[in-house]
Amino acid sequence: MQISANGVAIEVDDVGRGEPLLLLMGLGMQLVSWPEELVNDLVARGYRVIRIDNRDCGLSQSFDHFGKPRMFSATVRYMLGLRVPSPYSLADMARDSLGVLEALGIESAHVCGASMGGMIAQHMAVLQPARVSRLTLMMTTSGSRSLPQPSARIRTALLGRPSNPHDIESIVEYLEHMFALIGSPAYKTDRELFRRRLRAIVQRAWRPTGVARQLIAIAADGDRTAMLGRIAAPTHIVHGDADPLVPVAAAHQLKRKIPGATLEIIEGMGHDLPVPLLPRLAQAIDRRA
């Protein structure tokens, strides 16, 4: 279903009964990127699980009227520490998510964000603390420039594109290659199952220009370290020690900066949600401080 939130049409999936749990996905990833096995496990644990497509992604409202971002210029400005112009901000995306909760009549929710979703969740917890009862931050970062950064190979792949952007199988191969670079070395999803899921995601929506605008929003957001001390919600941080996209040092910094935060490092986990790890991740999300 679609909900008008913060003046933006947001696609929402809402299942289960009990404590509201809002799941926020990362860069360019759709609500269906949260595996059904994980969602079903969380529903069985007594959660009302709410997944959304972030703006400019999946079936939510497009911002194509802003045009294609100038990625090279934005990259140079970011590397030089200059302001990066962006058509919208991560704080705007946080207001979208808060608007979804308001539209659903939810006074407060446990918010779990992965990667960019974790960045959005940080903003939510500061913008409207009363609406965030608990916070789970998965494979995410404060954006501090002092933290270790992904390798040039990973950055190049992130800015890459399919050999044929109009062919589903070409897009699936591109995504499979990307996840092979950033995924969990110790936990692998069956390849055929993984490809079927990637194909279903691409068939649902493929919006690379929206992904580029989201990436610009991340760059424009900069360093959130100064605001972490204002997060009052009980916070649990989950990170893999083999994450090549967001190195694990980011998780340790979040723990130091967020008052009372707890940290769970998963050995052999990269920057993905592999099927063998889903029970462990459900347990991590369900952790009570």
Of 277, 248, 35, nearest to 150 by C-alpha is: 248
Of 99, 94, 92, nearest to 231 by C-alpha is: 94
CB 237 within 8 A of CB 264: yes
Which region holds residue 188: left if phi is over 0, alpha if psi is between -120 and 50, else beta? beta
Question: How many other C-beta atoms can be found within 10 angstroms of the C-beta atom of residue 220?
Answer: 18
CB 106 within 8 A of CB 3: no
pLDDT at 289: 46
pLDDT at 136: 98
Q: How deeply is 146 buried, as exposed, middle or buried, from its count of CB atoms within 10 A (0-12, 13-18, 19+)?
A: exposed
What residue ranges do the domains of the chain occupy? 2-285
What's the rounded Cα separation, in Å, for the pair 46 and 9? 28
Q: Residues 210-230: pLDDT tens digits?
A: 999 999 999 999 999 999 999
pLDDT at 84: 82
Predicted TM-score of the model (pTM): 0.95
pLDDT at 99: 98
Ranges of the chain with pLDDT below 70: 80, 288-289
CATH topology of domain 2-285: Rossmann fold (3.40.50)
Residue 53 DSSP code: P
pLDDT at 159: 76
What's the rounded Cα separation, in Å, for the pair 3 and 251? 33
Helices 90-103 and 116-127 pack at an angle, to 10 degrees, of 70
pLDDT at 152: 84
| Cβ-based neighbours of 62, under 8 Å, separated by 6 or more | 56, 207, 210
pLDDT at 116: 98
